[in-house]
Amino acid sequence: MEKKDFIYEGKAKKVFTTDDPSLCLIEYKNSLTAFNALKKDSIEGKGRLNNLISSALFEYLRKEGIPTHFVERLDDLRQLVKKVTIVPIEVVVRNITTGTLCKRLGVEEGLRLPRPLVELYLKDDSLGDPIITEDHALLFGWATEGQLIRIKEITLKVNSLLTSLFSELGIILVDFKLEFGLDDKGNLLLADEISPDTCRFWDEQTKNRLDKDRFRKDLGDVLGAYEEIWRRLSSREARA
């Protein structure tokens, strides 16, 4: 499947059309941004690792019955996905308090929540992805009631599947962000990527950060952390 026309460039990926109008090609970039792109860098090898990690996670979720846009990984940097219209909502799930939750509400960092917290953010970089309620999404037409129910249901299922997968690898899934899309028949599919750019991973033993917080907080060895996630995931794949 060859890429044809360029459609869109985001902060971490480029999207192209293919010969098949129902499929798109996603190319992972090495660029890394944080704080609504106020902080930027490029790390050789990051795009490849996110493509490998995200492809493996989407394959796992698909096998477990989650409807996704993922078709196949093509090579180190590219994957084939179903063409979707992205729902303009970023869905964040938190198992442990950290990040903007602590900043916004002044709650203590590192607390395990009694159940997963699901938050909605409007996907709009020019506004800095503001947090919204379900009512905002409904009243402004960003999603229907049925879609929101389904989004929450899939999100919680993904959280429990990924939490147990990472727990097997000695990693705590602290929080993460999901995006959804609609195919031409209106089916809701899990889309975008799931990678150390979009998740927080803490080593269970050392509590070392194995995700983009290494970049956000200048902790050093960003690539090493992403490599470690891939090393553990791929060793599980090899055993499976």
Tell me whether residue 3 or residue 193 sits nearer to ligand TMP (CB atom): 193
CB of 229 to ligand TMP, least distance (A): 13
Told to check if 163 binds ligand TMP by CB under 6 A, we report no
- Give the interface segment with ligand TMP, choosing from 58-66, 140-148, 151-159, 198-206 (CB under 6 A): 198-206
Q: Which two tokens mark 211?
A: 């995700």
Helices 46-63, 222-239: inter-axial angle, 10-degree rounding: 40
Give the Cα separation of 108 and 105 in Å (integer): 9
Within residues 199-238, the interface with ligand ASP by CB under 6 A covers 216
Give the x-and-dash track for 5-44 against ligand ASP (CB under 6 A).
Answer: ------x---------------------xxxxx-------
Told to check if 85 binds ligand ASP by CB under 6 A, we report no
Residue number with the shortest CB distance to ligand TMP?
Answer: 99
Q: C-alpha angle with apex 189: 186 to 194, nearest 5 degrees?
A: 155
Give the Cα separation of 70 and 53 in Å (integer): 13
Told to check if 31 binds ligand TMP by CB under 6 A, we report no
Q: Which of 149, 239, 158 is nearest to 193 (CA)?
A: 158
Residue whose pair of structure tokens reads 């803490």 in the numeric block: 202
What is the DSSP code (8-state) at residue 87? P
CB of 5 to ligand TMP, least distance (A): 27
Task: Give backbone dihedrals phi and psi of 208, rounded to 5 degrees, phi first.
Answer: -60, 140
Helices 46-63, 145-168: inter-axial angle, 10-degree rounding: 110
Tell me whether residue 11 or residue 157 sits nearer to ligand ASP (CB atom): 11
The one of ligand TMP, ligand ASP, none whose footprint includes residue 216, by CB under 5 to 8 A per kind, is ligand ASP
**Residues in contact with ligand TMP by the rule CB under 6 A:** 92, 99-101, 129, 175-177, 198-200
